[in-house]
Amino acid sequence: MEKIIVTGGAGFIGSHFVKLLLASNDVAEVTVLDALTYAGHKENLDDALTSPKVNFVRGNILDEDLVDDLVQRHDAVVHFAAESHVDRSFFEAGAFLATNVVGTHTLLEAAKRHHIHKFVHVSTDEVYGPMACGSASERSPLRPTVPYAASKACSDLIALSAFATDGVPVCVTRSSNNYGPHQHPEKIIPLFVTSLLKGEQVTLHGTGQHIRNWLHVEDNCQGINLVLRRGIPGEVYNIGGGTDLTTRELTGRLLELCDADWDQVACIPDRKANDVRYAMDFTKIAEDLGYRPRVSLADGLAQTVQWHRDHLHLWAPAQRNPDAPLAEINVPASMER
């Protein structure tokens, strides 16, 4: 029975992870530390907030005093909080460095002072940069090409150095592109689904040939949970096993699920540094920790589209209205991850 801090627990993946922790029934207390930026919403936590085991703290991971106070009262940290949208990082790189790098450092310093039992730092395949062929193992060099990925790579290295220099029991997870319910509609799948369901156009960057590995959020959370419980400190674990699709193929699947067709799709010039392909080898977590992805793309996408159909009233306004309850800023239609 442990007391666990989940940073960014009101965001997309973090909120799923909080629910998974509660369902596992062997956790004494879960404290969500979240600044509730435009990307974080308490609604993402659904009924989890009513659990007597859950505390919600609205606060910033850059707040040293707050972080110190919380960390000293907990056993483990699972760190999701981040600026997470690539397109924003072209315009607001400073915010990405502050939260993703300095924020991670602030948490690690507290973890060191208070001898935390486990610190799971949640990261991304994008730190490996584009892979024209083959796939990245945990030992592959980090070659990020965009400010978001560079800030995540930097935070991975800061986290691993805290293990090497001070013995902070850090594990790093790197997953491929997640999808599922509760993802902010600035990301491609919710953006396309909500637009298509409303009969609006979506835009495809370039010719839509960029390849991404699509992993259901519950599979990523399952992998992170294995790493929390059994991951070896100082180690990195790739979490993959989703389905590789070009953006054009993904669009085709979403059109079908949303009963729409290609005349709702417009092609626009490619964005800056849009990496052609990401690919990871996840043998290590499969063999060492028994990880197996469980959700097929067909089932996962169907569930996600249905969720958006059921919650259109919740998400559709967030694309347009700066004052909408679930988003504080406008999302240009061309934004995709």
Shortest CB 161 distance to ligand NAD, Å: 18
Catalytic residue among 125, 186, 218, 275: 125
Nearer to ligand NAD, 192 or 260 (CB): 192
Other beta carbons within 10 Å of 172: 26
Q: How far apart are CA 221 and CA 11, in angstroms?
A: 13
238: left (phi > 0), else alpha (psi -120 to 50), else beta? beta
When CB distances to ligand NAD are compared, the closest residue is: 11
Query: What's the start-to-end Cα distance of the chain, in Å?
Result: 37
Shortest CB 337 distance to ligand NAD, Å: 7
Shortest CB 245 distance to ligand NAD, Å: 14
DSSP-assigned letters across all residues of 204-225 = EETTS--EEEEEEHHHHHHHHH
Nearer to ligand NAD, 158 or 264 (CB): 158
Nearer to ligand NAD, 243 or 260 (CB): 243
Shortest CB 261 distance to ligand NAD, Å: 27
Q: How far apart are CA 266 and CA 268, in angstroms?
A: 7
Residues in touch with ligand NAD (CB under 6 A): 7-8, 10-14, 34-37, 39-40, 60-62, 80-84, 99, 103, 122-124, 152, 175, 177-178, 184
In eight-state DSSP terms, residue 44 is G
Active site residue 148: yes
Q: Which of 75, 88, 150 is nearest to 119 (CA)?
A: 75
Nearer to ligand NAD, 196 or 327 (CB): 327
Catalytic residue among 126, 186, 219, 336: 126
- Which residues are marked as active site? 125-126, 148
